[in-house]
Amino acid sequence: MPRFSVSSIPALAWAGLASASIVLSVAFSAQAQVSPQMRGEAIALMQVCRGDYDRLCAGVQPGGGRVLACLQNHTSQLSTACGQAMPRAQSLKDSAAGAGVMPK
């Protein structure tokens, strides 16, 4: 199971989840353009949805909103906390895309 760190997964990989995260994620190649607040929110979302990512989307490569899309495709299977984080994750992804800092 892959381990992620703040340095290996730039912040908005999870905003796009998530992550992520997941995370939410939400990974940035242009990290300097991401505010510390957005980075912190993305990391928090990634942590909230980490278990859901591992369970439902482990084979999805982070970047370009793929993790968020996967989690959104499994909405009915998400943990309560991750499901509640999805609107904010989508908002962070949209902000990243609007700023031109979405990972490929």
What average pLDDT does range 63-69 have in this prediction?
90
- Any idea where the domains of the chain sit in the sequence? 11-99
Cα separation of 82 and 61, whole Å?
19
What is the pTM (predicted TM-score) of this model?
A: 0.68
Average pLDDT across the chain, whole number: 75
Angstrom distance (rounded) from CA 66 to CA 17: 8
pLDDT tens for residues 6-51?
444 443 344 344 333 333 333 433 444 677 888 899 899 999 999 9
**Using 50, 70 and 90 to split pLDDT, how confident is the model at 70?**
very high
* 71-88 residue pLDDT tens: 999 999 999 999 999 999
pLDDT value for 74: 97
